[in-house]
Structure 1
């Protein structure tokens, strides 16, 4: 067992850009795509992830985050809980006991769900199983029960898999990703909120007709509606608020213009990296469809489950995110009771909107309103979970002093510290113990059974149409 756990610990330490090519190559061979074709697909996906990381780290990490930090210091914002970012959250999660077993456990859960027709997604994004481990680690702490923590991680994964299945047709339509679903522990958790508010908008006369469509805006305004211009304008605004100083005009101009051009580049480069990812995934997706149709007549469509990074490049998603990034700082200061200072995870705010965009059918107005709601909820959740996240960090020996400058500072994160599903599962276990765990378990099983019925119905309709 130690050897098995050590092997999967080694795999997780490789990172997504190395793990995904290996997984995609193996999966392609299993599905009959051939070694050469599978290897090319895997390497293309890996290169796409490296490109995304370069854009995110080099442009967002070194441009957006420092600009926002400068805004925070300039306007005297004083919040006591530090957002240490998703890399720290992932390290804390994978360093926990739940994290040591989450990859083999997640693979088993996925296989069982496929065999029982409770999912139609082959989730190859095993690196992001850390989101489930994060929930499990918090539950283990709040209940002082490792078994409940492991169960919580499994239930979290099942819920996310079902939501990934349900939203897959919208992902295909809106994001242009055939055969792909996004069972991502962070992104997908916001889908139910988006569905709820989208349904509310549909029932409000006048409001239901408001539509800010980024694609139409590009056509209407020509060059001024293009992503690079929109990103640059947003960047110039953030840069002006952060760096303008009438006493140092030349230095201010350089910093403001650099911020503007950098964020304009983000809205151009991220979609191109996402397109590279899709280039690698299309042959695997096609092979998966053929494989299933030949061997499993009682199944509907099979999806390849991926990191939601593949959908970050949608222009509506990026535009909404960069409008809301500075607003998030304002909310953090104005919301009574919030203690979290958003910082390290500001670069991953777009991940919150990857599924919101297709759910609202690319409507920028609805996306912005729902975005304000999820950011508000997220800040309160991150504040509430901060003591547990800090304890989890201490349990695995995380260097809080190195990350924050003070060993006694509480830490949190936007990803996954602001995750509504993580919060619900954690607090249900913490407040009600075994009863809360049982309630979450029953609801999860009911959701899986419902999904099975939906999948079988889809399969019957598909095969009837073919006949």
Structure 2
């Protein structure tokens, strides 16, 4: 665990090259090729993080300005995924849970219960935060650990099932995404897609980047869409002309640069994947394996980025009008694109359907975040975090704890307390 904590503390840009270098050696790529592939993945992650930070650094203040303009005074604050990850990695159940994750993945692979080799260790925090919240409910160490293990095992299976659809949509052969926060919303995408396809009129609406570009020419290019979305957000934030034009240019830059940085990352990933596939066919001729990765690989898709930007004002408006909501969308507003990455394949990149799924997801997040905030807050205190002085409770929007999965987990914890 000391080794794992040290590597995780270095961040994905350092952790992933180490993992892929080791994986390359295991699959007999040789030291030189393994090092090159690992470094290419690392460089890709650095590039992706730089562009995401450019996006977040510009969208964060604009989102907060929109919140302030509406005068939202809510008691549960969205503290964002960085704080949520600290809660996850700081929980008392962390060591046992993570060791269990590694053992469960290995055992499920040996027993042919999963195809996914989950190397996305950094995002274990998503599972851990759910477990930390259940621990805050039950105060029972092993119930919390075992429940988190069960969620992890289920997610590996769901990642296997979703993988062919995601691989086809994103052209990522041999990759799966055991990402709890993203997979939580795929059932809604499947349901919404089925319902809308059976409603006359609505089933004719199909907005995707290619059709927009074909209809509007240069105006439909991602760089132009990003610019105009940036202008819209800047105006809604009450920015002066110089500030909203700067915001628009930076968002347009992110729309162009992010896919290119992801291409760099994927080029290194493909080298390892091809070597792994070749060697695994020798070792296990009748088996298929997937490399489990972070959804950061997917958010460069123009439909995901554009719809994620549109969800920012939607989230703020919903927080304002939903009766009974006490959760303030805040730090994670700029990260709403991550909710859509695994939705996209199941609605065929239709931004109209994506916006509906995203809106429903945010409604659920706000109500769940309001409902279970006392337990999320307690889990933060147990992990050693200090709470913001202006708010009585915390939650976060883009982790799984404020999804329906977090709510069900908390209710199971309460049921355990009632039985015990």
TM-score computed with the length of structure 2 as normaliser: 0.95
Partner of 1:379: 366
Partner of 1:174: 169
Matches within 5 A, 1:107-186: 107-186=102-181
**Which of 273, 281, 285 in structure 1 is aligned with 2:269?**
281
Alignment of 1:67 with 2:62, yes or no, is yes
Count residues with an aligned counterpart.
Answer: 419
Q: Against the structure 1 CA distance between its residues 435 and 317, is the aligned structure 2 distance closer, same or farther, given a 3 Å change threshold?
A: farther
Matches within 5 A, 1:170-209: 170-209=165-204
Alignment of 1:51 with 2:53, yes or no, is no
Secondary structure of the residue aligned to 2:384 is: coil
Most deviating of 205-214 and 171-180: 205-214
Partner of 2:396: 413
CA shift for structure 1 position 204? 3.0
Partner of 2:25: 29
For the residues of structure 2 that align with 1:272 and 1:423, how far apart are their CA atoms? 37
Q: Against the structure 1 CA distance between its residues 195 and 124, is the aligned structure 2 distance closer, same or farther, given a 3 Å change threshold?
A: same
Q: Any conservation in 1 of the 2:136–2:376 contact (CA below 8 Å)?
A: no
Partner of 1:94: 89
CA shift for structure 1 position 352? 0.4
For the residues of structure 1 that align with 2:302 and 2:139, how far apart are their CA atoms? 44
For the residues of structure 2 that align with 1:21 and 1:334, how far apart are their CA atoms? 45
Q: Any conservation in 2 of the 1:160–1:189 contact (CA below 8 Å)?
A: no
Matches within 5 A, 1:315-464: 315-400=302-387, 404-406=388-390, 409-416=392-399, 417-433=401-417
Q: Against the structure 1 CA distance between its residues 222 and 157, is the aligned structure 2 distance closer, same or farther, given a 3 Å change threshold?
A: same
For the residues of structure 1 that align with 2:114 and 2:171, how far apart are their CA atoms? 21
**Runs of 4+ with >4 A deviation:** 432-436
Alignment of 1:270 with 2:258, yes or no, is yes
CA shift for structure 1 position 140? 1.4
> Aligned Cα RMSD in Å?
1.7
Partner of 1:241: 236
1:17-69 Cα shifts (integer Å, max 9, x gaps): 11111111101111122222121111111122222222222x22321111111
Secondary structure of the residue aligned to 2:117 is: strand
For the residues of structure 2 that align with 1:341 and 1:48, how far apart are their CA atoms? 33
Q: Any conservation in 2 of the 1:89–1:415 contact (CA below 8 Å)?
A: no
Q: Any conservation in 1 of the 2:224–2:252 contact (CA below 8 Å)?
A: yes
Q: Any conservation in 2 of the 1:102–1:129 contact (CA below 8 Å)?
A: no
For the residues of structure 1 that align with 2:4 and 2:367, how far apart are their CA atoms? 34
For the residues of structure 2 that align with 1:137 and 1:90, how far apart are their CA atoms? 11
1:68-96 Cα shifts (integer Å, max 9, x gaps): 11111122122111111111000011101
Unaligned runs of 5+ in 1: 245-251, 437-467
Unaligned runs of 5+ in 2: none
1:125-184 Cα shifts (integer Å, max 9, x gaps): 111111111111111121121101101111111121112111111111111211111111
Higher helix share: 1
Q: Any conservation in 1 of the 2:56–2:335 contact (CA below 8 Å)?
A: no
Partner of 1:14: 10
CA shift for structure 1 position 194? 1.4
CA shift for structure 1 position 433? 4.6
For the residues of structure 2 that align with 1:34 and 1:221, how far apart are their CA atoms? 49
Q: Any conservation in 2 of the 1:381–1:418 contact (CA below 8 Å)?
A: yes
For the residues of structure 2 that align with 1:137 and 1:200, how far apart are their CA atoms? 36
For the residues of structure 2 that align with 1:341 and 1:269, how far apart are their CA atoms? 31
1:84-133 Cα shifts (integer Å, max 9, x gaps): 11110000111012223343321111111111111111111111111111
Secondary structure of the residue aligned to 2:180 is: coil
Alignment of 1:84 with 2:79, yes or no, is yes
1:340-386 Cα shifts (integer Å, max 9, x gaps): 11111112211100011111111111111111111111111111221
Q: Any conservation in 2 of the 1:8–1:104 contact (CA below 8 Å)?
A: no
Secondary structure of the residue aligned to 2:77 is: strand
Secondary structure of the residue aligned to 1:344 is: coil
